A and B are shown apart, each in its own frame.
Chain A
Amino acid sequence: MELLLHSFGNVFHPSVMLIIAMGVAIGITIGALPGLTATMGVALLVPLTFGRPPLESLAMLLGLYCGAMYGGSIAAILVRTPGTPAAAATVLEGYPIAQRGEAGRALSMALFASFSGGLTGALIMTFMSPVISDVALEFSTVEYFALAVFGLSVIVSISGKSIVKGLMAGFFGLLISTIGADPISGFPRFIFGQMDLFEGPPFIPTLIGLFAVSEVLANVQITRATQRVLAAVDRFFPSKADLKASWKAICRGSVLGSFIGAIPGAGGDIAAFVSYGETKRTSKHPEKFGTGVIEGVAASECANNACSGGAMIPLLSLGVPGDAVTAVLLGAFVIQGLQPGPLLYKEHIDIVYNVFASMIVANFAVLIIGALGIRLFAKVILVRKAILMPSILVLSIVGAYAMRRDVFDVYFMLGFGVFGYFMQKYDFPLSPILLALILGPMAEANLRRSLVVSGGDFGIILTRPIAVALLVLAVGSLIAGFYNHRKIARRLAEQERTGRDVPDE
């Protein structure tokens, strides 16, 4: 208890609160810019955490994560372009409200719902993840191998439109993860005489290349001017009438979002659509949805923000990232010398408490900074791509170079940037590569260590109940992933047939 209070106290230190506020402000800005995602923002900011203490680094990244989840709603409401995929559902009601000249009403509801959802998600994370990690403390190398396999099974769920393409990306990522010294014998694999690759593919340059440079290469092809903002922003907090109409949607969406976020592979976009759908289903006037109903904005925004807390549950307690952002955050933990998972609770419980406190503080910061800077963030949408994209490139180059002061890493980043661009162009998902890069070495090293213990007998896996349970869960996750994929494909086909707008995923 004393450690808990001490860790929370550390986060409430003015310098840490300032860092969280900075992260939130950057996150809202990035989230508000269509085309820039929370994943890209976290990837760009990771290099800025080199050499900083874990508390400051993680606090800033978590602040950015929370800020970006809210920021996506600004562009969704004002210019009908979701700033992040998670805000796609917000467009459905937010934009029609703004078209009526009530942009401030929609934005204020989005802000309040984001805060409520984010805070609920953070609290659920605080109470649930220690329970899960208690079980996970019994883990040996066999269980860690099974856990990595379970994490990798998520690839099917995050494959986007094509599972085959997701599997290709996953296998390719896993193959790349074997570059460098073999974890047991030290034999150099696939390095082609390039000693820079002996320690494995450089993680940060790969991350920046895949998620930032590839986006820039896509964005420089479209140089049209930014869109016109619909209406003036004249309100910072929702009215009593709007709160009365939306409180049920906020409560339901916050809980739904937290639990959907905790399911590996289900991100903020899914949570927002499920919450929106439920609110519409239970509404007394479902026929009005699509014309600018305030509950719709509340439902989708609280769910996608609650998702950020939920997604931290498997990351912290099992070391399994639930989506692309948490996969990048996992990388940030690793850079700090911390391996999320049950051992984190055993060896660095102070860091875990710091994460809990940072998420809670970040959500209050979203509310305050969001309210104070709502007009300014609305203007962010007007920044020209012609200025923004080159600046992101310079930051990417410096970020890739800075950690090892090696230009090889910049070439590596550029290579993965071009590769990521073509992957996106031909509808290949990027997240499986990242997941594979993180979990691949964990799977291989732990399986081989287990085999050292068993003298090469694979049967050791079946002697550990938790490992078997995790492998069964992995199979279940694969089946659920296939089933969900078919369901989503059917729904999209149906929407296409009926001629309704199909929001971007």
Chain B
Amino acid sequence: MNRANFVCGAIGVAVGGGAYFRTSDFPADVVMKIGPAFFPSMLAGGLMLSSAALMVIAAMEAAQPAAPDAEAEPFRLSLGDGRVRAVVTTLAVLAFTLVLVPLGFIPTSVIFLLAMMALLGVRRPLLMAATSVGVTLGIWLIFEKLLVLTLPAGILESVLY
């Protein structure tokens, strides 16, 4: 059995089933035969059917041989493991979003870039500083001055405006 595909199919069935269940609360339209529930319930049915098909195919498939890539390697809880770096990157974007408005775009972006470059193995402080400040200011100038789209100033509000 292809376990990954089987699980993906099961998730699809669950999502489709949940959406289908949800549409039962939508009001019916007596004039046009189809109301707000018609399309979503039909699509939820399609998602469930195609997901069930994937589950059946996965169940009939032979087990997949272990891929000779990182996935086959034992998991290590260190930044040397690519999967850990991906999780840390996701958390870093989450942290960026959380502090974007209170701290402001410029300080948040500089700190984020420094941290991310360190995470990905850059060990030259001058290069890191120049890149993080340069990229941040470049993006800020494009959005603020060229496109006139205001980015959160945060703690630098009195300095910038």
Where the two chains meet, the residues of A that have a C-beta atom closer than 8 Å to any C-beta of B are: 48, 50-52, 162, 164-165, 167-168, 171-172, 174-175, 178, 182, 184-185, 187, 189-190, 213, 216-218, 220-223, 384-387, 389-391, 393-395, 397-398, 401-403, 405, 407, 410-411, 414, 417-418, 421, 426, 428, 440, 444, 447-448, 451-452, 455-456, 458
Contact A391 B113 (CB under 8 A): yes
The bracket for how many chain B residues form the interface is: 35 or more
Contact of B93 among A174, A218, A397, A426 (CB under 8 A): A397
**Nearest Cβ distance between residue B30 and chain A, in whole angstroms?**
9
Contact B149 A168 (CB under 8 A): no
**B93: which A residues are within 8 A, CB to CB?**
213, 393, 397, 410, 414, 417
Interface of chain B residues 104 through 161 with chain A (CB within 8 A): 105, 109, 112-113, 116-117, 119-122, 127, 131, 135-136, 139, 142-143, 147-151
**Nearest Cβ distance between residue A36 and chain B, in whole angstroms?**
16
Contact B120 A171 (CB under 8 A): no
Bound complex: CA A440 to CA B23 (Å): 17
Given known pairs A401-B151, A402-B143, the reply for A172 and B15 (CB within 8 Å) is yes
Contact of B105 among A168, A217, A398 (CB under 8 A): A398
Given known pairs A221-B70, A405-B150, the reply for A390 and B112 (CB within 8 Å) is yes
**B105: which A residues are within 8 A, CB to CB?**
398
**B47: which A residues are within 8 A, CB to CB?**
168, 171-172, 175
Contact B4 A401 (CB under 8 A): no
Bound complex: CA A458 to CA B34 (Å): 10
Contact B82 A51 (CB under 8 A): no
**A216: which B residues are within 8 A, CB to CB?**
89
- List 20 contacting pairs A-B, 8 Å CB cutoff, sorted by A: A51-B148, A165-B54, A167-B46, A174-B43, A175-B47, A182-B35, A187-B26, A189-B40, A218-B86, A220-B119, A222-B82, A390-B113, A391-B131, A401-B100, A402-B147, A414-B94, A421-B86, A426-B8, A456-B32, A458-B33
Given known pairs A171-B43, A175-B40, the reply for A48 and B142 (CB within 8 Å) is yes
Number of A-B contacts (CB under 8 A): 175
Besides the known contacts A167-B50, A386-B121, 8 further A-B residue pairs in the complex with CB atoms under 8 A apart: A174-B39, A175-B19, A185-B29, A221-B83, A385-B120, A390-B116, A397-B93, A397-B100
Contact of A393 among B15, B27, B100, B116 (CB under 8 A): B116
| Most interface-central of B34, B46, B149, B150 (chain A CB within 10 A) | B149
**A394: which B residues are within 8 A, CB to CB?**
109, 112-113, 135-136, 139
**Nearest Cβ distance between residue A496 and chain B, in whole angstroms?**
14
Interface of chain B residues 1 through 36 with chain A (CB within 8 A): 4-5, 8-9, 12, 15-16, 19, 22-23, 26-27, 29, 31-36
Contact of A451 among B33, B112, B142 (CB under 8 A): B33
Given known pairs A220-B82, A221-B83, the reply for A428 and B8 (CB within 8 Å) is yes
Contact B34 A448 (CB under 8 A): yes
Closest 6 CB pairs of A and B: A221-B82, A390-B116, A386-B120, A182-B36, A171-B47, A456-B33
Bound complex: CA A162 to CA B89 (Å): 29
**A451: which B residues are within 8 A, CB to CB?**
32-34
**B33: which A residues are within 8 A, CB to CB?**
451, 456, 458
Contact A391 B135 (CB under 8 A): yes
In the assembled complex, B57 has its CB within 8 A of some CB on chain A: yes
**Nearest Cβ distance between residue A281 and chain B, in whole angstroms?**
35
**Nearest Cβ distance between residue B100 and chain A, in whole angstroms?**
6
Bound complex: CA A448 to CA B117 (Å): 51
**Nearest Cβ distance between residue B52 and chain A, in whole angstroms?**
10
Bound complex: CA A411 to CA B26 (Å): 27
| Most interface-central of B85, B89, B93, B94 (chain A CB within 10 A) | B93
Bound complex: CA A167 to CA B50 (Å): 6
**A428: which B residues are within 8 A, CB to CB?**
8
Where the two chains meet, the residues of B that have a C-beta atom closer than 8 Å to any C-beta of A are: 4-5, 8-9, 12, 15-16, 19, 22-23, 26-27, 29, 31-36, 39-40, 43-44, 46-47, 50-51, 53-54, 57, 70, 82-83, 85-86, 89-90, 93-94, 96-97, 100-101, 105, 109, 112-113, 116-117, 119-122, 127, 131, 135-136, 139, 142-143, 147-151
**B12: which A residues are within 8 A, CB to CB?**
168, 172
| Most interface-central of A223, A391, A403 (chain B CB within 10 A) | A391
Contact A51 B19 (CB under 8 A): no
Bound complex: CA A165 to CA B51 (Å): 8
**B50: which A residues are within 8 A, CB to CB?**
164, 167-168, 171
Bound complex: CA A302 to CA B36 (Å): 48
**A390: which B residues are within 8 A, CB to CB?**
112-113, 116-117, 120, 135
Contact A221 B86 (CB under 8 A): yes
Contact of A175 among B36, B44, B70, B112 (CB under 8 A): B44
**Nearest Cβ distance between residue A172 and chain B, in whole angstroms?**
6
Contact of B26 among A189, A221, A384, A395 (CB under 8 A): A189
Closest to B33 in A: A456
Bound complex: CA A360 to CA B127 (Å): 40
**A221: which B residues are within 8 A, CB to CB?**
70, 82-83, 85-86
Contact B120 A389 (CB under 8 A): yes
**A172: which B residues are within 8 A, CB to CB?**
12, 15, 47
Contact A220 B86 (CB under 8 A): yes
**Nearest Cβ distance between residue B99 and chain A, in whole angstroms?**
10
**B116: which A residues are within 8 A, CB to CB?**
389-390, 393
**Nearest Cβ distance between residue A353 and chain B, in whole angstroms?**
26
Closest to A216 in B: B89
| Most interface-central of A171, A223, A398, A440 (chain B CB within 10 A) | A171
Contact B151 A185 (CB under 8 A): no
Bound complex: CA A51 to CA B8 (Å): 40
Contact B70 A168 (CB under 8 A): no
**Nearest Cβ distance between residue A119 and chain B, in whole angstroms?**
30
**B101: which A residues are within 8 A, CB to CB?**
407
